[in-house]
Amino acid sequence: MVSIALGTVEVQVMPQGSPGGYLGALEARIKGIVEAVVSRILEAQLEAEVTQKLGRESYERRAQMPRKVTTGECRRCGTHIGKQFRRNGHYQRQLLTRWGKVQFQMPQIVCECGGQVQMDFQTVRGRQRIWDNVAREMRERYGWGESLRGIKASLDHWLGSSLGLRTINTRIHSIVRMVAPWQQTQQADCPPVVRLDGVWVPQMVDTGKQRIDALGRHRPVKHGLRRPLLVAQGVWPSSGRQEIVAWSLAQAESADEWGVLLDQMWGRGVQPERGLCMLVADGGAGLLSARHLAYWNVPLQRCIFHKLRNVWRDLVVPLGYDVAAGRAYKRRLIRQAARIWQARKLATAQERHTTWCLDWESEQPQAVATLRRDFDLTLTYYDVQATAATLGHSWSATYLRTTSHLERLFRGLRRRLRQAVVVHSGIGLTALAAQYFTRWSAGQSPNPLDAFDWPLAIERALLAPNPIS
């Protein structure tokens, strides 16, 4: 026999005929105890909320209390005066939580006129069937690439209840409601450097037509398209901190769409007056056009990675070279070109650029023309480094020259999209992107989408000594 003492509860578990039966019985007992603990904590918290809203304990007389306006409202007379409200017992409710299906007593409040009082509780909302920690578990599993049916199977077994696919999908899409408030919240501190780039992502779009599937059901006909996800990544070169400061799902990389993202950045406080020193971007025409309207006075650094990639594209392999020899030839020229930006001084970089162009102008005219195009914009970081040095900052060129760190972020997003296989709506794509960026930012800075965590408070209470007493 095994005895487990937990607060004022003592549980005795008799071994069964086999280890599996014994452990199964023990697990069931532990689960029952945890559900009882969670139930009592919920009830205690709900009673504390009633006391706070009414302004008196359950044993205090209403006549002795001052007149107080509450958030509760009588459904019959419409009053908000807490002095006219009184406790009126409880009714039983059920809630699906991380620890199983919990039954608890919900407080009832009535008015002097006999009407029921509508009271908004923070712990458990009205008509709430699934608690927030289960909804968060759905979003976490979705973030790791688990399908809706996989999430349903896991949660059904775990909770001992059946959840619908639409219910799970709705909880996942609820992430979208958090995006707009975050986009309208001012950045606590402005990053000195912002990288700008876009990644094209797939989405299914409804054509307005319908088809009949094998079961005779009417299904919408959809086709796939690709949309750009425009992202601004803030960088603090002194500390190496990186954070997503703005993003938007667009229809194209046009000047208007980039203008929406830049307006979002400006609204969040990413401004030169607050310390913005430089923008890093590729040579997209839409972004360059939109920048002149919002950030015309902020220096622009052309991404060196994109510049070298364009030069690689325009290199012509001499006749007679096989594939391996051709790649080695192009790699040698690119390495020579990359030495331009490895120079410590601006004058040295300009000298190396001139030398490379003179050496290869006759053999690779198109690649040389590509390198010369907007070449001065690839050297902006030298001036920014010099300005920062006068202020006592030492900024590594690693954070200033390219958008490569943002490309790595996009690589992870593409992997996540391959796990999802296909996204059927803009809402789903927005939810997936919001979750991915939030999870990525969690390791870089405080999560801007986090709210007060009641389930975490419950977990702490469960781990406290004698939680039932």
Blockwise average pLDDT, block size 10, the chain, 469 residues: 45 51 76 86 91 84 75 88 87 87 91 90 86 83 80 84 86 85 90 95 87 87 89 94 93 93 95 94 90 92 93 92 93 93 94 95 94 94 94 92 91 85 83 86 47 39 41
CA distances in angstroms from 272 to 356, 380, 412, listed in the order given = 36, 16, 31
* pLDDT at position 30: 81
Q: How far apart are the first and last CA of the chain?
A: 24
Strands (E), 98-161: 100-111, 117-118
CA distances in angstroms from 403 to 231, 235, 399, 407, 444, listed in the order given = 11, 11, 8, 6, 17
The bridge status of strand 100-111 relative to strand 9-13 is unpaired
Supply angle C-alpha 78, 80, 85, rounded to 5. Answer: 100
96 strand-pairing partners: 101, 130
Diameter over CA atoms, the chain: 102
* pLDDT at position 463: 42
CB 301 within 8 A of CB 380: yes
The residue type of 119 is M
Q: What are phi and psi of 121, to 5 degrees?
A: -100, 145
